[in-house]
Amino acid sequence: MSEIKLVRIYSHEQEKGFRVLVDRLWPRGISKVKADLDVGAKEMGPSNELRKWFNHDPQKFPEFKAKYLAEIKANPETKSFVELIQEKLKESDVIFLYGAKDPLYNQAVILKEYFTSLSK
């Protein structure tokens, strides 16, 4: 069974699968070749305002999560993104790549939870 996996784009251990960058900003120091993306989904990242407000502060994560989920639900790109990911999951794992240093408090975690909630 295929699954969504979360991998920091800077990690030396890169999973195999359909690779999707879910950050709005391109990660510093990573070339397009090294990133080896199948798709860049910057439109699915949190808005610049929300990203700057959160500033990767774990104390703000619950509020960030609520606001980011609201952005996902209001985003006109979400429907086609969901369809793409669901199609790719039929063939292989999907790797959500993110740049944040914190593996627990970042938008990729929330995006994966969003997908998990759709399949229930």
- Average pLDDT for 6-23: 94
Dihedral angle sign, alpha carbons of residues 101, 119, 40, 90: positive
- Average pLDDT for 13-37: 93
pLDDT of res. 65:
98
Average pLDDT, the chain: 95
Kindly indicate the confidence band of residue 120, based on its pLDDT and cuts at 50, 70 and 90: low
Cα–Cα distance, 2 to 24 (Å, whole number):
25
Kindly indicate the confidence band of residue 54, based on its pLDDT and cuts at 50, 70 and 90: very high
Provide the percentage of residues in the chain whose pLDDT is more than 90.
92
Kindly indicate the confidence band of residue 15, based on its pLDDT and cuts at 50, 70 and 90: confident
CA distances from 93 to 1, 4, 109, 120 (A): 8, 6, 16, 19
CA distances from 50 to 35, 80, 90 (A): 25, 22, 32
- Average pLDDT for 83-98: 96
pTM for the whole structure: 0.94
Residue 50: pLDDT over 80: yes
